[in-house]
Homo-oligomer: A and B are copies of this chain.
Amino acid sequence: MQQKAHKLFATIVDARFPKPACSACDLRDLWCLPSGLKGQQSKQLDNIINRRKRIKRGEYLYRSGDPFRSLFALRTGFFKTLLSSESGQEHVTGFYMTGELLGLDAICDDIHSCNAIALEDSEICEIPYTALEGLCREIPELQHQFHKIMSREIARDHNLMALLSSMNADERIAVFLINLSQRFEVRGYSPVEFQLRMTRGEIGSYLGLKLETVSRTLSKLQDEGIIGVQHKHLTLNDLPRLKQIVGRARAPLCKD
Do the beta carbons of B154 and A150 come within 8 Å of each other? yes
Tell me whether A155 and B105 are in contact in the complex, defined as CB-CB below 8 angstroms, given that A165-B205, A252-B84 are known contacts.
Answer: yes
A212 to chain B, nearest CB (A): 15
Interface residues in A101-145 (C-beta closer than 8 Å to B): 104-109, 113-114, 133-134, 136-138, 140, 143-144
Do the beta carbons of A164 and B165 come within 8 Å of each other? yes
Interface presence of A250 (CB below 8 A): yes
What separation, in Å, do the CA atoms of A80 and B137 have in the docked complex? 33
Q: How many copies does the complex hold?
A: 2
- Chain B residues lying within 8 Å of A137, measured Cβ to Cβ, are 136-138, 140, 143
Segment at the B interface, from A9-17, A87-95, A174-182, A228-236: A87-95
Interface presence of A238 (CB below 8 A): no
- The binding surface of chain A is classed by DSSP as helix
- Chain B residues lying within 8 Å of A223, measured Cβ to Cβ, are none
What separation, in Å, do the CA atoms of A223 and B193 have in the docked complex? 54
Interface presence of A61 (CB below 8 A): no
Interface presence of A243 (CB below 8 A): no
Interface presence of A241 (CB below 8 A): no
Instruction: Give which listed residue, B107, B144, B209, B252, contacts A91 with CB less than 8 A.
Output: B252
Interface presence of A162 (CB below 8 A): yes
Do the beta carbons of A157 and B159 come within 8 Å of each other? no
Interface presence of A57 (CB below 8 A): no
Interface presence of A74 (CB below 8 A): no
What separation, in Å, do the CA atoms of A67 and B154 have in the docked complex? 18
Interface presence of A152 (CB below 8 A): yes
- Chain B residues lying within 8 Å of A154, measured Cβ to Cβ, are 104-105, 150, 153-154, 157
Interface presence of A226 (CB below 8 A): no
Of chain B, the residue at the smallest CB distance from A248 is B87
A-B contact pairs, 28 of them (CB 8 A): A83-B251, A84-B252, A85-B249, A85-B252, A85-B253, A89-B166, A89-B251, A91-B166, A91-B252, A104-B151, A105-B154, A105-B158, A107-B151, A108-B148, A108-B151, A108-B155, A113-B155, A113-B158, A114-B158, A136-B136, A136-B143, A137-B137, A137-B140, A150-B150, A161-B161, A165-B206, A165-B207, A165-B208
